[in-house]
Amino acid sequence: MSKLLIEGVSRTFAGVRGGQPVQALQPIDLSVAANDFITILGPSGCGKSTLLRIVAGLEAPSTGRVLLDSKAVTRPGPDRGMVFQSYTLFPWLTVAENIGFGLRERGMAQKERDGIVASYLDLVGLRGFENHWPKQLSGGMQQRTAIARALANDPEILLLDEPFGALDNQTRGLMQELLLGIWERRKKTVLFVTHDIEEAIFMASRVIVMSARPGRIKSDVAVDLPHPRHYTLKTSPEFSAIKAQLTEDIRVEAMRTVQTQSA
Amino acid sequence: MPRPLHPVSPGTRTVLGVSFFVLFVAFWAWITLGGHVNHIFLADPLSMLKDGWRLLVEDRFWLDILITIWRVFGGFVLASIVAVPIGIAMGAWKPVEAFLEPFVSFARYLPASAFIPLLILWAGIGELEKLLVIFVGSVFQIILIVAVKVGSTRRDLVEAAYTLGATDNGIVKRVIMPANAPEIAETLRLVLGWAWTYVIVAELIGSSSGIGYMIINSQSRLATGQIIFGIIVIGLIGLLSDFAFKALNRWLFPWSLA
């Protein structure tokens, strides 16, 4: 049985000022197995973030439904942890308080929280920064905190919306290894949205390629590269083969996006 | 000429800031002591200081100062207690905003000073009337600014909190309120400055104490030195309370400056 089931989910935005309604997503069906790491790859504006937001419950689908453990998603909840592209740490809370936010909302006692928070601080390598304000952290450290904050809630599924999109290339590579390392050790169902082909392959057990707007699933590629994965994998022939195939897929879609925008 | 937006060093900033005061007082001294204006209409800086000293020592002017300060803070605290929760409610819940916003927008243009005759009829010329003038002058402004700030709370923070399991109630208490607390405090600091102008107007009419009363009293005796001293005292207290408020905000919200 699948962990997450997306059934005929589409999204149409109402037209602006009497204009034509815009379809962002064509009906999408997707089944995600437990502990799978799925990356959703697509050109910008293809609706991949919209799809993720619908799974999170932050937006309602125009048609179809999302089932998590056979329960329909109607609103956001702690069973679907999310990491955003923008830095969304609460600036008035310290790193430790940010990580413990979800636990506190659940009503967990301070003592119990402290232990869990400490373990997640270690997990993302931020021990020693627990009393820093988010403003005092680099972008990479902020996103590590955001990952720890989402994981500390022990969600059924982790949703990531281009979490490393604003980071420089070197930091981004390190963050990929960190997140993948956590997943390899802890196992979690993950939905990871990105427009970076290398990132999509490196992280995933399965890459979903989306078409240009209105988005639909164009291809569904299993990545059977062995774990644990090391960054050198990115230069291996097997990796390059998948990359070549996906680059071709994405290129066609990106071209279509550019053409529709200039038309 | 310095380049646009180019910062100045702290030392230069202090020197420039102080030098305007010096120029200002020098110009004042020149036109008064130099005999360019009649001393009946404008006292010179020295007699202003003399008059001020006499006021403080002989006429117990410091009691008036204390009374004025109490009125400002009393009315201001009253207005804040009422306005901040209403402003937060308006910003957070759109039906509340739709219900109150048109009226508050209208009411904030009602000049507090025009209410003085009415407030005297209702509350007499005692302390309550003075507090009410400041209350009327501040409350609608605070409501509206707080509502706007709260309404523009970062949506991504609210969404992040929802995905962490926050309830609607938790969103208001543990996201919307702390996220906007520094801006609300900043708003209060701003409105406190305006409250200083309302209190003087309130004391000019139907009053028997306070800085404004001393000023109107001095007018009938052509004591321009006292009037100017009173105005400067108001300015100084305003400046001090502003500094105190700023320091308090910095201490309360270290995260917003880190």
Under the banding of pLDDT at 50, 70 and 90, the label for residue A250 is: confident
Q: Which residues of chain A are within 8 Å of residue B164 when distances are taken between CB atoms? A: 78, 81, 101-102, 105, 149-150, 153
pLDDT of A259 over the 80 cut: no
**Residue A99: inside a domain:** no
Supply the pLDDT for residue A96.
95
Subunit contact B161:A105, Cβ cutoff 8 A? yes
Subunit contact B253:A80, Cβ cutoff 8 A? no
**Residue A13: inside a domain:** yes
**Residue A8: inside a domain:** yes
Domain that holds residue A46: 4-88+159-262
Subunit contact B258:A150, Cβ cutoff 8 A? no
What is the rounded distance in angstroms from the CA atom of residue A60 to the CA atom of residue A51? 10
**Residue A62: inside a domain:** yes
The residue to which tokens 């999302």 are assigned: A66
Q: Which of A143, A136, A134 is nearest to A168 (CA)?
A: A143
Q: What is the CATH number of domain B42-256?
A: 1.10.3720.10
User: Tens digits of per-residue pLDDT, B114-127?
Assistant: 888 888 889 888 88
**Residue A135: inside a domain:** no
What was the ipTM of the complex prediction? 0.91
Q: Where are the alpha helices (DSSP H) in chain A?
A: 48-56, 95-99, 101-105, 110-123, 139-152, 169-186, 197-203, 237-262
Supply the pLDDT for residue B103.
95
What is the rounded distance in angstroms from the CA atom of residue A55 to the CA atom of residue A59? 8
> Cβ atoms within 10 A of the Cβ of B101, count?
17
The β-bridge relationship of strands A63-68 and A4-13 is antiparallel
Q: Which residues of chain A are within 8 Å of residue B156 when distances are taken between CB atoms? A: 84, 86, 88
User: Tens digits of per-residue pLDDT, A47-84?
Assistant: 889 999 999 999 999 999 999 998 999 999 999 999 99
Please return the burial class of B109, using the count of CB atoms within 10 Å of its CB with bins 0-12, 13-18 and 19+.
Answer: exposed
Structural domain count of chain A: 1
**Residue A234: inside a domain:** yes
- How many pairs of residues across A and B have Cβ atoms under 8 Å apart? 76
Mean pLDDT, rounded, for A135-153: 93
Task: Output the tens digit of pLDDT for each of chain B's 258 residues.
Answer: 788 989 999 999 999 999 999 999 999 999 999 889 888 888 899 999 999 999 998 888 999 999 999 999 999 999 999 999 999 999 999 999 999 999 999 998 888 888 888 888 898 888 899 999 999 999 999 999 999 999 999 999 999 999 999 999 999 999 999 999 999 999 999 999 889 888 988 898 888 889 999 999 998 888 889 999 999 999 999 889 989 999 999 999 988 875
**Residue A172: inside a domain:** yes
Mean pLDDT, rounded, for A170-175: 90
pLDDT of A132 over the 80 cut: yes
Nearest to A101 among B164, B181, B256 (CB): B164
Residues in Cβ contact with B108 at an 8 Å cutoff, skipping those fewer than 6 apart: B140, B141, B143, B144
In the predicted model, what is the mean pLDDT of chain A?
A: 90
pTM of the model: 0.87
pLDDT of A261 over the 80 cut: no
Residue from B154, B164, B169, B176 whose CB has the most chain A CBs within 10 Å, to mutate: B164
Q: Which residues of chain A are within 8 Å of residue B166 when distances are taken between CB atoms? A: 101, 105
**Residue A140: inside a domain:** no
User: Tens digits of per-residue pLDDT, A222-235?
Assistant: 888 888 888 888 88
CATH of the domain at A204: 3.40.50.300
